[in-house]
Chains A and B, each alone.
Chain A
Amino acid sequence: MTQLLQPIAENLWTNEPEPALIGGRLPSGKIVFPYPSGDAAEGVEPYRLSRKGTLWSWTRQDFQPKEPYEGPEPFQPYLLGYVELPGEVIVETRIVDCVLEDLKLGMPMEFVVAPFDATRATYAFRPEKA
């Protein structure tokens, strides 16, 4: 079903059976996310980020954000946080397929493309399935 949804933005994650976020590798070797735009992209190589990481921090969005937020109506609280991709970068992400109480510092997480609204998909991480 997710395959029928349009990505919320182009070139945010790879188009392959097991997609991954697209970051950038700076000339210094440092990994960044997202891949920079405009002049900042000069000398930055696209870098396929790891699909697995550990939970760095998290929270739940309990009130409906103002625009530019474009989530579905009626508003449903959602989880988000940061996932550390070992040796690469710590990425901010939506968190799906769990509840707030499940989340623990350092727990294993895995990448997933998740529905955002009726027509679009976004990226997320979820607790790794044992």
Chain B
Amino acid sequence: MEDVYIIGAGIHPFGRTDGRSGRDQGVFAVRQAMADAGIDWTDVGCAYGGSAAAGSADIMVNELGLTGLPFINVANGCATGGSALASARNAIAAGEFDVALAVGFDKHPRGAFNAKPREYGLPEWYGQTGMMLTTQFFALKIQRYMQLYGISRETLGRVAEKAFRNGVHADHAWRRSPVDLETILNSPMVNDPLTKYMFCAPAEGAVALILASGKKVRELGADAVRIASVAVRTRPPGSFEVFAPSVDIDNGGKPTILASKAAFEQAGIGPEDISVAQLQDTESGAEIMHMAENGFCKDGDQEQWLREGRTEITGKLPVNTDGGCLACGEPIGASGLRQVYENTVQLRGRGGGRQVPGSPKTAYSHVYGAPGLSGVCILER
């Protein structure tokens, strides 16, 4: 396959923007990405994009221009951004287009998501009795993990503390003030062992990435980063996922492990070669478990990693350098692309106060969501 590059990255600030629709935030991000790439809308050969709760992406042509391009709507839940990216990349790798757009945006109401059982093929009683909440799943998964591998509540707190500290330096982050460990640990409990400050909140925002062929990169003299691999995987048998009235007793694999292995294999590198990582941190526990599921450490080692600051911006493997979902919030359609945006910023050395030192060469991103899917993207400079 031909190499594919990111030549432009745009973002609409995450958080709350009253009076601007999710799709308009998407258009904002697309314009910023095109300006960054030094191209016009007429240069874009094809587009993939979508949202979970803010409508279809293809209507953006009203604002961006009626150039006649194919614009594919992606509706893939938490993997919407990742699937848009994978599709855009494949369109270029196949040689059909030289420039493609991947865009994700969203705008969620305040408060926890309230999923409808029927939409997930589940019986009504599951929702009626109060067991169909995403926050519960994350609490149940980390509760068991903490017992099995000796992870402390303090370590959960340290993940959130780092997120808010990093978010201070990210223009696009929602929460931009540091929060101390004690406040995090003593904030109201949401689902034991996870407190309010350990959870991200549904939010708004948009991200757009302009992808290009090597030929186009040379033509433009673009500040490009190479997409070494993209892998999206759904759950294998026996995995424990969100919205599961039951779990198989034969403990199976995990979609994250599958996506991670596939992405490393495609890229021809391993976890030890990664300079910076953005890992799905819907809540503190998710970041901890995803460090192991993505192959960066052994189960239980996170306790030491966090205590020693190994995932700080100045550490051995900086994780969630823009504060992740905890500091940025989670607009589902945009969240996975935000991670790739941040990695692009880091590899181009444009991170400012949150820049990983030593000119990072490789960057890893991982998104996870319902009903058990993961998307991994590895970028190289």
Residues of B within 8 A of A (CB): 111-112, 114, 116-117, 123-125, 127-133, 136, 139-141, 143-144, 147-148, 188-193, 244-249
Contacts and interface: CB of A to CB of B under 8 A. Distances in A.
Interface residues of A, number: 43
B151 to A, nearest CB: 13
B191 A89 contact: no
A108 B193 CA distance: 21
Contacts of B245: 33-34, 91-92
Given A60-B191, A81-B140, A68 B128 contact: yes
Contacts of B192: 59-60, 62, 100
Contacts of A82: 140, 247
Interface in A11-25: 12, 23
Interface string A74-93: 00001011101011111111
Most buried by B among A58, A80, A92: A92
A110 B112 CA distance: 31
A66 B130 CA distance: 9
A66 B249 contact: no
A61 interface: yes
Contact of A91 (B112, B124, B188, B246): B246
Q: List the 6 shortest-distance A-B pairs measured between CB atoms, nearest first.
A: A68-B127, A66-B114, A57-B144, A59-B139, A33-B246, A90-B247
- Residue among A37, A62, A91 with max Cβ neighbours from chain B (10 Å): A62
A81 B337 CA distance: 33
Contact of B133 (A57, A61, A70, A84): A61
Contacts of A9: 123-125
A68 B114 contact: yes
Nearest to A63: B190
A9 B144 CA distance: 29
B143 A65 contact: no
